[in-house]
Structure formats: C-alpha cells, structure tokens
Amino acid sequence: MSTVYPASTEAQERETLTASDLAWEQELNPWLAAEARFNIAAERLGMDEGLQKVLRTPSREITVYIPVMMDDGRIEVFTGYRVQHSIARGPAKGGLRYAPDVTLEEVRALASWMTWKCAVANIPFGGGKGGVICTPSLLSQSELERITRRYTADILEFIGPEKDIPAPDMNTNEQVMAWMMDTYSMHNRQTTTAVVTGKPLDLGGSRGRKEATGRGCMIVALEALKKFGMKPEETRVVIQGFGNVGGMAAMLMARAGFKVISIIEYDGALYNANGLDIDALMEHRKETGSINEFPGADSIDPHEALYLPCDILLPAAKENVITSRTAPKLNCKIIVEGANGPTTAPADEILQQKGVFVIPDILANAGGVTVSYFEWVQDRQGYFWNEQLVNERLTELMVEGFSAVTKYGDTHGVHNRTAAYMLALDRVAFAIKLRGLYA
C-alpha cells in the first residue's frame, strides 16, 4: 500500500516564502505606509479623485550628483535629493539627512509627512525633505563641509525663505545648517539667515529649538493624561532612543514628575522600576559614550524592553519599530510617536484592536517644526524671543493641535492617526481650492 503525501513541493515553499517576504518588505516601505494612511483619510473625507491626485503628487523632486575632492586627493561623487511635496500653504519645510541608506522613496515619504505635520500644527508651511547618500562617520569635518556646500549650491535656485527652508535631521546638525546658510548667503550676496532653521544661536537660531521636539512629546503626553484622568507621578514611561528627541523627552518628562522606567538604545537598555535618574544618566553617557553600565539601573535586552508593562511607550529612534510582529506584544496604554514613522500601517489595526491610545508622529513630534517656524519668524523680524516665550507659544500650538485631532476623531468616529491625516488633508485641500489651479 502506497502513501500519498500532500502536494507541497520545494518550489511552492519558495513561492510562499517569497510572497511573505514581499508583504513584509511592503509593510516596511515608508512611501507605501504614507500612501495607506492617505487613502484611508481621503476615503473618509469623500475627497474628489482629482484633488487626491494633486495631494498625492510631490510638487518637485530634485536629484543632484555632488563631486567632492576628498582629503586624500580622490574625487568621489555623492547623490543628493530634495523633495518638495507641497507648497500650497507656504514654503516647503523639512530636514536634511545624511546616511548611507537614503533613498528617493524615503525622502518622498518624509516630505509628504512634513506636509501633513505642518498642516496639523497649523503653521504656514508645506512639506519638504532632503538627503545625501553618505556615511558621515567615515568622513572628515572638511569633507562634510564640501559635500554640504556643493549640495547647497546645486539646489540653490529651489531653496530660500519663501521657497523651501531646510533644517537638521539624521546625522546633520547646526554646523551643517551654518554651512548651508553661508553658502546660500554668499551666492545671494547678502546674509540670509531665514533660509534654514536649526542654526547656532549666534547665527539666528532660536532658543528652545534643541529641546523642542522632546518638549512637544511631553506636552501631548500631559494632554493625554488629562484625557484619562492620570497623573504624571503615577505614569510609567518607556523611551526608545536617547538622542536629541528621546533624551530631551526623558529629561523633561522626568522633571515633570513622570516615572521613566526604561531607556532603550541600539546597543543596550536600562530598567529601574522606581524610575531612572535621567540627569545622572545623561552625565554617565557624556563621560562613557554609552548608557551601558549605568550604576542606577539594571541592564536588560533592548528587544525585550520594548514590551515592558508601562503606561506610555515613546519610540524616538527610527522608523518601523512597531510592526505587525511587535505590536501584539506591546504592553502599554499610550504611544507617543517621537520618531517619524515608527508604526507601520498593518500595526495600526492591531493597536486599535488592543485599545492603545496612539498620538501619531505628525502631531506628537511636531514641536521641532513648530519652533523651526518660530526661528524663521524671528529671523525675518530681526527680533528674537526669550526661551520662556518660545516654550509658551510651543505649548499653545501643541495643545491646540492635540485638541483639534482628538475632537476630529470623536466627531468622525476614527482613531487619532486617521483623524490627524483627515485634518491635515482637509486643511491642505482647502488651501488648494482657495488658490485654484494655475493654467
């Protein structure tokens, strides 16, 4: 008697694996994620198909090839991008990142997120983003300067205080912005500080800018606690990332009374059930270059730390942290998205089913672009505000944004991310309708 086995061949197994890999790749694609959120919001708004096409399509995409003389005499050619997604509500606004894995698709997605972020924050900017494919850690300061200045010169006609205003992002800083501002000014034959934001204070930067994104995260977290009748001192917080956003959020939240029980970094994580001494941890990292071996906490696996029981999870490191694979294992009540795109589209449905209150990135981390707007205003006025005034005005706009998004969600019966996208699309579409289409 012969045994009949199921018709499962090696080829079929490979095909299944390939389909699975393709689905996972699509989930992690930032442009597809932005598109998925757009589609849901546009459908709920009943938006005209033609207007959807306008809102989906970037106004301009620029690719430049940057020849640079390296320190050893070699010539290298780097690739740079600048995408201006929308200028309907004002000049494009968005950061410039330096990284070896920068892609045009990623920059395009980030530019669209900036459009929606500026609209949610209700500031008069559109969305832009830039990137240069390079590995900053392998470049000298002079090589970085030459790359920055040539990149700026190559996109000169497309940027300006009334056109497109770059800012720091991944692996760029106030020094890079100073080089950009100087290059633009030399070609313009006059000092034009408002061409970029995130500059040094002595060159027209704003007080409070460094802390702005982290402070904005804290402000919306406080608003969420009010909504749920919670108190900061009773609130356990897990923060992924201890850079500018995560570090500042941790410091400000700890000072406001929150109990920051865990900090997660790429090379380790810390845990203290009674709350970490964030000021001491910052000093420890300054001295050692790492959060590891901090005497005031236990070391734990950084992957497992993400699933610690907590009230607030604040991902402030990178994109695609909360996915269809990680979302089911999260053990938090509130997510404050300090990073751009930390949650994939499929994970949204899982979080909604779990009843997690998500404060989406285009609201939660809008503090940075809001104070960048303040910097632009101060540069154009030639009059600079003290830090108290900056923080008061930031708080006012972040609270207004939180209120607008949650009310929009309650009115339309949708969760916060869809509400934020609906509000943003509505505001940008309204501006386009008022302006009309030039022909």
Give the domain-ending residue among 145, 172, 197: 197
Q: Per residue in 393-411, pLDDT tens?
A: 999 999 999 999 999 999 9
Q: Per residue in 153-186, pLDDT tens?
A: 999 999 999 999 999 998 999 999 999 999 999 9
Q: Per residue in 225-261, pLDDT tens?
A: 999 999 999 999 999 999 989 999 999 999 999 999 9
What domain range includes position 73? Answer: 58-197
Residues 277 and 311 in one domain: yes
How far is 68 from 74, CA to CA, in rounded Å?
A: 8
In a domain? residue 421: no
In a domain? residue 337: yes
Residues 231 and 97 in one domain: no
What's the CA angle centered on 405, arms 49 and 398, to 5 degrees?
Answer: 125
Residues 192 and 224 in one domain: no
Residues 312 and 272 in one domain: yes
Ramachandran angles phi, psi of 276, nearest 5°: -80, 150
Residues 144 and 286 in one domain: no
Q: Per residue in 299-346, pLDDT tens?
A: 999 999 999 999 999 999 988 999 999 999 999 999 999 998 899 999
216 touches 227 (CB < 8 A): no
In a domain? residue 405: no
Give the domain-ending residue among 127, 162, 197: 197
In a domain? residue 82: yes
CATH number of the domain that residue 254 is part of: 3.40.50.720
CATH number of the domain that residue 90 is part of: 3.40.50.10860
Residues 178 and 301 in one domain: no
Residues 191 and 226 in one domain: no
Residues 131 and 237 in one domain: no
Q: Residue 66 pairs with which residues in a beta bridge?
A: 78
Can you say whether the dihedral through the CA atoms of 388, 390, 396, 402 is positive or negative? Answer: negative
In a domain? residue 262: yes
The single residue of 129, 210, 259, 333 carrying the catalytic annotation is 129
Our answer to whether residue 117 is catalytic in this structure is no
Residues 189 and 277 in one domain: no
Per the structure, the count of domains in the chain is 2
In a domain? residue 149: yes
Residues 218 and 95 in one domain: no
